[in-house]
Amino acid sequence: MPKFNSMSDLHFRPAPLTTLTEDEQMLRDAAADFAREAIAPHVHDMDQQALLRPDIIRGCFEQGLMGIEIPEEYDGAGGSFFMSILAIEEISRVDPAVGVFVDVHNTLVINAFNHWGSDDLKKRCLPRLAADTVGAYALSEAGSGSDAFALKLRAEKKGDRWVLNGHKLWITNGKEAGIFIVFATVNPEDGYKGITAFIVEPGMPGFTIGKKEDKLGIRASSTTELIFEDCEVPVGNVLGEVGKGYKIAIETLNEGRIGIGAQMVGIARGAFDAALGYAQERKQFGKSISSFQGMQFELARLATDIELARLLVYQAARLKESGQPFLKEAAMAKFYSSEVAERVASSAVEIFGGYGYVKEYPVEKFYRDAKIGKIYEGTTFMQLQTIAKLLMK
């Protein structure tokens, strides 16, 4: 067992995963300011109308939040994955619907282009994704949720075109997107080895945006059906290689789950902020309810849970960014942060009492928004399975 020669050997200093560089601090603060000033006044109306305001979409691009990881040579910010996580967390603290809009664009779409795009695709798509074009990631179908590779969308090669036929469901950013990464199978008999990723754009013949879902939470974020009826896609629009779409999907979703973890931490922080403020203002029996020990203990537990979830998310992001194994940590981060978000939001509703149950106050929305964290980009059951499998190794 190693011995420490002095207290200095213990290296008492902040853990690397909790410290931020100057650029990370600037990005985080800019995202927080934008969320507070531009998004916050419209959260209630966007939720009621189930619609993202066009000026907020433009603002996300103008603030550089939609091109954080796009290299500077393609007009992006040339930032890091961790910076995307910070932005998602701060925006979700105000409105998780805008948070997931930014999340999918960055952690799924842009990451897939950065890692798998040909030079031609990067030149054609990344500058647009940085400037004004929203990205969407189309994997899910009616019969393929947790079994992500049970795809029915078929792609057949015909000359210099691939022809797509089938449907996609639950596609985030479907209404706003101008670039879709669409997963289809070129040969169902090959199973996951037949899956291929295609770049599809609105206006391509045979491609239609279908029904927009009327959801419980994150209502301003569009979730749509995609319909492909003899949709012709140029051969140059294959992302990566034919038959390697499964690898793209696995790797991007592993990263995307950290983004969802950041969204859940943002939800928990937003709900907690509201509950703490209310507890200090609300008076019963002649004093604020925050002065009662029972309430203090509850707030202390919630604050501790949030910090733990946040550290898990940051740790997973730092590991991913440094090129170290991070799959177990990403699954833990998504699993635990979604549990915490739901628990904190539920407690916040109770702290508000009757006011917490009405839409005039923010906590009922955080409560509705939190539920999706246990479902999309890998259910809680799938995260636990992943964690257990990796532990057994």
Burial 276-287 (b: 16+ CB within 10 A, else e): bebbeebeeeee
pLDDT tens sequence for the chain (393 residues): 333 233 333 333 333 456 899 999 999 999 999 999 999 999 999 999 999 999 999 999 999 999 999 999 999 999 999 999 999 999 999 999 999 999 999 999 999 999 999 999 999 999 999 999 999 999 999 988 788 778 999 999 999 999 999 999 999 999 999 999 999 999 988 888 999 999 999 999 999 999 999 999 999 999 999 999 999 999 999 999 999 999 999 999 999 999 999 999 999 999 999 999 999 999 999 999 999 999 999 999 999 999 999 999 999 999 999 999 999 999 999 999 999 999 999 999 999 999 999 999 999 999 999 999 999 999 999 999 999 999 998
Going by the DSSP 8-state scheme, the letter that residue 35 receives in this structure is: I
> Which residue, among 177, 224, 183, 184, has the nearest Cα to 203 in the 3D structure?
177
Residue 368: CA count within 13 A, CB half-sphere: 21
Catalytic residue among 69, 89, 176, 377: 377
C-alpha 179/C-alpha 135 separation (Å) is 5
**For the CA atoms of the chain, what is the radius of gyration?**
22
- As given in the structure block, the two tokens for residue 136 are 């969407």
Q: CA 227, 230, 236, 242 torsion: positive or negative?
A: positive
Q: What SS3 class is residue 360?
A: coil
- Domains, the chain, ranges and CATH? 16-134 (1.10.540.10), 137-243 (2.40.110.10), 247-392 (1.20.140.10)
C-alpha 188/C-alpha 191 separation (Å) is 5
Question: If DSSP states are collapsed to H, E and C, what string results for 225-260?
Answer: EEEEEEEEEEHHHEECCCCCHHHHHHHHHHHHHHHH
C-alpha 46/C-alpha 356 separation (Å) is 19
377 in catalytic set: yes
Residue 354: CA count within 13 A, CB half-sphere: 0
C-alpha 182/C-alpha 160 separation (Å) is 18
> Which residue, among 238, 274, 235, has the nearest Cα to 113 in the 3D structure?
238
C-alpha 285/C-alpha 263 separation (Å) is 37
Neighbours of 133 (CB within 10 A): 18
